[in-house]
Amino acid sequence: ETVPAAAAGGKWSVTASVNGGAPQSLTISGTSATLPSFALKGALNTVAFTNTYQTEGAQLIPDPTAGGWTLNGSSTLTGGELVLSTAIANQAGSAFWPHAVAPRALRIEYDASIGGGSGADGLALIFADPARGAKANSLGTSGGGLGFSGTPGIAVALDEYKNAVNPSNNFTGVADGPVTGHTDMLHWLGTANLLAPLQGATHHITVTTSATTLTVAVDGAQVLSQPVTLPASAYLGFSAGTGGSTNRHAIAHLSVTPSP
């Protein structure tokens, strides 16, 4: 394929879909391409390859207010925001861009607003893994599950409620699912307490991914760098949950671009 000179500085990505399944990113080495493991049917199998060129700095996923996202549970689009929960008890909301992306070299920025209730529980940016059964309509549990628990994948959370496994009532963390036997508590790979309060505030969040590491910055200051292996292909989305205590959780001004 031919790329115009004006597009120089970008990069190619290759995905493959087996028998109509979710696209999976390929690992390219020299002249060989390695496809993640998949199941073959007993008869004819179809493998479809897609080559995509991303110009440097190009927006990969539109803001939810532009439409096209899948909204689940308590999620709504209101006044230029994706509202994941209102200040009502025991809500769970999620929203996903319904086309899987390669998540290991991204810069994701958004404004997160939390408040209006009694202080729980939190919201999350999700990299949902279709190879493990995640779908664009996946919705996790409420409360400390943040609307993520039960969705296969990795989440970057802003959490304003201290439960038995949380370090404080004002922190960010990277989770890979629930604590065994407790769907309302997340298993944290790493956390960082925050100085600026989440409650009653809006913060600009920047999440940068690579093949081995995920970093989180709040209002321009890096607060967490966590070794992690993201799925090769993921549905990118957001979620939030309330429990006995509540808050309104919303995001706005989403930007998803390739990371150098």
In order along its 260 residues, the chain shows pLDDT tens digits of: 444 444 444 556 677 777 766 666 666 666 677 766 667 777 788 887 766 555 455 789 999 999 999 999 999 999 999 999 999 999 999 999 999 999 999 999 999 999 999 999 999 999 999 999 999 999 999 999 999 999 999 999 999 999 999 999 999 999 999 999 999 999 999 999 999 999 999 999 999 999 899 999 999 999 999 999 999 999 999 999 999 999 999 999 999 999 87
Structural domain boundaries, residue 36: 5-54
pLDDT reported for residue 70? 98
Query: Are 161 and 88 found together in one domain?
Result: yes
pTM for the predicted model, two decimal places? 0.81
Query: Are 75 and 48 found together in one domain?
Result: no
Q: How many domains does the chain have?
A: 2
Kindly tell me the burial class for residue 213, based on how many C-beta atoms sit within 10 Å of its own C-beta (0-12, 13-18, 19 or more): middle
pLDDT reported for residue 4? 45
Torsion angle, CA of 159/165/169/172, rounded to 10 degrees?
-40
Query: Are 198 and 118 found together in one domain?
Result: yes
Residue 196 belongs to some domain of the structure: yes
pLDDT reported for residue 74? 99
Query: Are 153 and 245 found together in one domain?
Result: yes
Query: Are 167 and 242 found together in one domain?
Result: yes
CATH number at residue 155: 2.60.120.200
Residue 66 is given by DSSP the state G
Query: Are 30 and 76 found together in one domain?
Result: no
Whole-angstrom Cα Rg for the chain? 18
pLDDT reported for residue 1? 43
